[in-house]
Amino acid sequence: MTEQPMHEMPSGSDEERDEIESRMRSYAAITLALAADVEARDLAARVLPAVQEEVCGIALFASDECHEAPQLRSHAGFAAAPTPEAVNALLGPAGRTERDRLVVFEVKSAPPWLEQARACAAVPFTLEAHHSGYVLFALRSAAISRAFAAEINLIAQRMGDCLLGQARRSAAPGADADADAAPVHEVIKVLLIDDEPMLMAHIRRLLRQRGFAFHAAERGQHGLDLAASVQPDAILVDKLLPDMDGIDVLRALRRNERLSTVPVIMLSGHADEESRVRALRAGADDFVAKPFSAKELVARIRANVRMAQARRAEVRRESELMRLRQSQQELRKLLDTIQSVRVDERRRLAREVHDQLGQLLTAAKIELRLLEERSRTASSAPVETVALGELRSALSSIDMAIASVQNISILLRPPALERGGLLAALRWLTADWQRRTHLSCRLVHDTAGYVEPSQFVAGELLRICQEALTNVLRHANASAVTIHIGVRGLNFVVRIHDNGVGIARETACSADAIGLTGMRERAASIRASLRIHGRPGCGTIVAVRRRLAIL
């Protein structure tokens, strides 16, 4: 066979315009035919009806990782299935060397499988690494126009794209015949709301080839309903729709709570500043003018989806932080409630000890005193003298029990703390401790910025001071103690400093020291820090710090 030049038509003639219009309609039909998912074996059969006036047969050959040479993938219109060897023999050495461009050959001696053809054209396409191929067209005439040459080039590339898209979906883990059925976490779902079939088919093809899940609606209301059910990751909206304006669709999406954060990209053939500003003011995340490149559209979709995901992640972090703060506030309220219950329980216990146990002991004392009086007046026998001695001993024990009950009541519910707060209670404590031990004990009070703590906090601080003074008396061998109370910066501070021998570091950190452990537990109960420092010959300092904000 001999290579034939393409038939030239007068530039700009009516015939050429009619030819181009016819080819455009034909290509539109091809695009729609291949828009849906098509099995490789059906590609040629889908395309042939759209070009059957000029083409009597189509065969698709492509290679893959398993086959370096192109293999027959799809054919239609031939009397028998063409093989790569038969096509190579038909095209000859020229076809093998020139298959990187469109070459048309007139068929002089047609083989049986090509009996109706007058010429054939081999149109190459390149998919990606390890994937290449060509489409063989059996032509009814050897003379073809430029428009038809452009059309069969586009047909070949479209068939190659469909073949590649199917290969990618088959290779994807967990993928099936429908790309929309892929796992949500691996696929970006895109919804297109547009009434142009060619544009819809074009966007469907390019998005599915790149691994997107694609959904489409031709009317605005249908798009809104589909968006609510599909929950897409990005929405493309045409500015002009049959039933409503694209801006109205955008506003409806923004009013929907579940769709308000989904990125929306407006598509429009009018790229003037007013149209862009109007769309962005209505809530659009981006604006793409028609015509647009595939790379630009895909890049804009991915960028807007990433920004939306980042915004949602930030909202989730803020929500988690708010919930954490709310939980902390609830825990603080609960702790305050527990502390109030403990204060009330101490009051009740002090009242019970004072009222019931004290009354019982007092009554017993009165009865014993009466018994003593009767025994003294009745007789003076030696036996009675012994009984009187025992009664006096019992009365002494009861007096001590009554005094102990009074001391317990005071410790549980110090009157000074009830009446005057922490400052008054510490004044009472230092005076009482100095009276009982005959050691120097003074209170230093900074009035600047002083804030009286709550009753529970004041009670715990008082008991820490009581335990610290007890430790000084038992272990410090000190002659003087100073209690300092005041505000330092943002902290409420209580310090107990003695001039004794100084506590050893090992003792201060020991978990076996019950008194020190109790002090730490009391400090923790009021969310305060407690530090104990001791140096030989310099005494010991017990410091309690609590933030003013939580007093």
Q: Residue 490 is encoded by which pair of tokens? A: 């943002």
Phi, psi of 238 (to 5 degrees): -75, 145
Q: Which CATH number fits domain 179-292: 3.40.50.970, 3.40.50.620, 3.20.20.140, 3.40.50.2300?
A: 3.40.50.2300
| Contact yes or no for 305/263 (Cβ under 8 A) | yes
The yes-or-no verdict on residue 531 having pLDDT over 80 is: yes
pLDDT classification of 11: cutoffs 50, 70, 90: very low
Which pLDDT score, from 0 to 100, does residue 364 have?
72
The yes-or-no verdict on residue 95 having pLDDT over 50 is: no
Q: Which CATH number fits domain 416-550: 3.30.565.10, 3.60.15.10, 3.40.50.300, 1.10.3720.10?
A: 3.30.565.10
| Contact yes or no for 130/64 (Cβ under 8 A) | yes
The yes-or-no verdict on residue 1 having pLDDT over 90 is: no
Q: Where are the domains of the chain?
A: 2-171, 179-292, 317-411, 416-550
CA atoms of 23 and 468, how far apart (whole Å)? 100
More confident residue, 21 or 479: 479
Q: Residue 62 is encoded by which pair of tokens? A: 């492509």
Which pLDDT score, from 0 to 100, does residue 485 have?
93
Which pLDDT score, from 0 to 100, does residue 293 have?
79
Which pLDDT score, from 0 to 100, does residue 14 have?
63
Please report, for the chain, how many H helices and E strands are present, in that order: 15, 16
- Of the chain, the percentage scoring pLDDT greater than 70 comes to 74
Secondary structure of the chain: what % helix, strand, coil (to 5)? Answer: 55, 20, 25
HSE at residue 269, side-chain half, CA atoms within 13 A, is 5
Which pLDDT score, from 0 to 100, does residue 178 have?
40
Kindly state the average pLDDT of the residues 92-107.
Answer: 58
More confident residue, 413 or 9: 413
Region of poorest pLDDT, from 122-126, 311-315, 480-484: 122-126
Q: Which CATH class is domain 2-171?
A: alpha beta
Kindly state the average pLDDT of the residues 490-509.
Answer: 88
CA atoms of 440 and 201, how far apart (whole Å)? 96
b/e for 204-239, b at 16 or more Cβ within 10 A?
Answer: bbbbbbebbbbbbbbbbeebbebbeebebbbbbbbb
Which pLDDT score, from 0 to 100, does residue 187 have?
78
More confident residue, 507 or 304: 304
More confident residue, 65 or 150: 150
Kindly state the average pLDDT of the residues 230-259.
Answer: 87
Which pLDDT score, from 0 to 100, does residue 218 have?
87
- Of the chain, the percentage scoring pLDDT greater than 90 comes to 10
Which pLDDT score, from 0 to 100, does residue 443 have?
93
